Amino acid sequence: MSASRASRTLSRRRLIPLSALAALSAAGLLLASACGSPGTANHARTGAPAVAAGAPGSPSVGPPATPVSADGYLPGMPPPLSPTDVYAADRPNQFSPVVRGMPARVYVPNTLSDTVSVIDPASYKVIETLQVGHQPQHVVPSWDLKTLWVNNDLGNSLTPIDPATGRQGTPVAVHDPYNLYFTPDGKYAIVMASADQALVFRDAHTMQVVKSVPAQCEGVNHADFSPDGRYFIVSCEFSGDLLKVDTAKMQIIARQKIPFAGSMPQDVKISPDGKVWYVADMMANGVWELNGDTFSTPTLLKTGAGAHGLYVSRDSKYLYISNRGEGSVSVLDFATGALVHKWQIPGGGSPDMGGVSADGTVLWLSGRYNSEVYALSTRDGHLIARIPVGAGPHGLCVYPQPGRYSLGHTGIFR
């Protein structure tokens, strides 16, 4: 590992205290840290070419994704309920029989405390604190909705939680599990091994390695899948790359650099109709928009400092964008592509990752640098509650949620 790569990896793994952030900001220094520290650089460049998987910097388009089923979907994948809305199964309280009756909880992994705070959303209070492995980053629902996996990144393990009982199971050894996704057919878990610079396909149940795919980029972390499940797009936050991956072949088929110097892409989400992909960028202070099918060069929509997490409203009308660097949430109207609201958290904060309540009325976000969680009304953005939790809260999971199956992260349901 090169010196620069090692320093970037180290900065991601350690949260920088607010006092240090203030000192660096006052000195005019650029901060780069992963789902780590907020940054303020804004030096644009244009014309970055798309490049092939084999050699960074080489122009390429990549082969078509195969195989496909007779109806065009990834074989074994449950087709969307609506051809124009991939989130049609996520309507308020539209629970799968698998999760119906499970207690409503908000699970908050605290990266610096090695704990998970469990919040009762009815009382807005922490009711339990679970000890887990070293540096838990995200709490991820399994494809079959039966298990919550705590990603113990530096602990090299996944801690299973039974959401029906709240009990922890025996940790499973998994190397560098920074984030976790599942293929739409439910066959494979995909570990975003950020430090290892790999996409590791594992059996979705046993977590045994099936194939490790070198990412050839730094900081693989977030992703989303196309409506037909045939490909997914991955962000690489330290090198500013986007990867397009053939799901069935488990192969990177195209890559490109984001056209912004110092880009740090974060969360990835597709529009309900699947035509626009959104990629949050905490250094560009906004979301990139692109066509996933053609893998076009993305264009930037400014939202706010440290744009980080992306969440879809229960009616599929809006995208909530957490701006971690300025303590706000921007609201994008999918129909018009315009920003229609900006909600400021009173007194500031560091809204990071989270999810929407099952009934769609509350947006839950972790406060990464403030050891707290925010509950915001989705009606007008007012702060309902500010809840103290452990140090370094990150990939918060609201559970259960509507949907037939989970694609991973803090809850991408289809």
Distance (Å, whole) CA 312 – CA 270: 9
Note the Cα 264 to chain centre separation in Å. 13
Structure tokens given for 126: 């922490």
What is the pTM (predicted TM-score) of this model?
0.86
Would you state the pLDDT for residue 408? Answer: 98
Distance (Å, whole) CA 273 – CA 295: 16
Would you state the pLDDT for residue 71? Answer: 74
Label each residue of 138-150 as H, E or C.
EEEECCCCCCEEE
Report the SS3 class of residue 375.
strand
Question: CB-based contacts of 357: which residues, under 8 Å, 6+ apart?
Answer: 121, 363, 364, 398
**Contacts by 85-89 with C-beta closer than 8 Å and gap 24+?**
85/272, 85/273, 85/316, 86/227, 86/270, 86/272, 86/273, 86/274, 86/414, 87/272, 87/312, 87/316, 87/413, 87/414, 88/272, 88/316, 89/402, 89/403, 89/404, 89/413, 89/414
Sheet holding 157-161, edge to edge: 136-141, 148-152, 157-161, 172-173
User: Residue 224: beta bridge partners?
Assistant: 233
Closest CA to 162 of 143, 174, 146: 146
Stretch (H or E) spanning 7: helix 3-13
Radius of gyration of the chain (CA): 19
Number of neighbouring beta carbons within 10 Å of residue 212: 16
Would you state the pLDDT for residue 70? Answer: 54
Question: CB-based contacts of 412: which residues, under 8 Å, 6+ apart?
Answer: 181, 224, 225, 269, 406
Measuring CA to CA, how many Å separate 175 from each of 14, 33, 64, 157, 198? 18, 21, 31, 7, 11
Distance (Å, whole) CA 271 – CA 340: 16
Would you state the pLDDT for residue 15? Answer: 43
Print pLDDT tens along the chain (414 aa).
433 333 334 334 434 333 333 333 333 333 334 454 333 333 232 233 333 333 223 223 333 444 555 579 999 999 999 999 999 999 999 999 999 999 999 999 999 999 999 999 999 999 999 999 999 999 999 999 999 999 999 999 999 999 999 999 999 999 999 999 999 999 999 999 999 999 999 999 999 999 999 999 999 999 999 999 999 999 999 999 999 999 999 999 999 999 999 999 999 999 999 999 999 999 999 999 999 999 999 999 999 999 999 999 999 999 999 999 999 999 999 999 999 999 999 999 999 999 999 999 999 999 999 999 999 999 999 999 999 999 999 999 999 999 999 999 999 999
Distance (Å, whole) CA 228 – CA 183: 11
Would you state the pLDDT for residue 364? Answer: 99
Was domain 3-399 assigned CATH 2.130.10.10?
A: yes
62 near 244, Cβ under 8 Å? yes
Please give the span between the terminal C-alpha atoms of the chain, in angstroms, as a whole number: 38
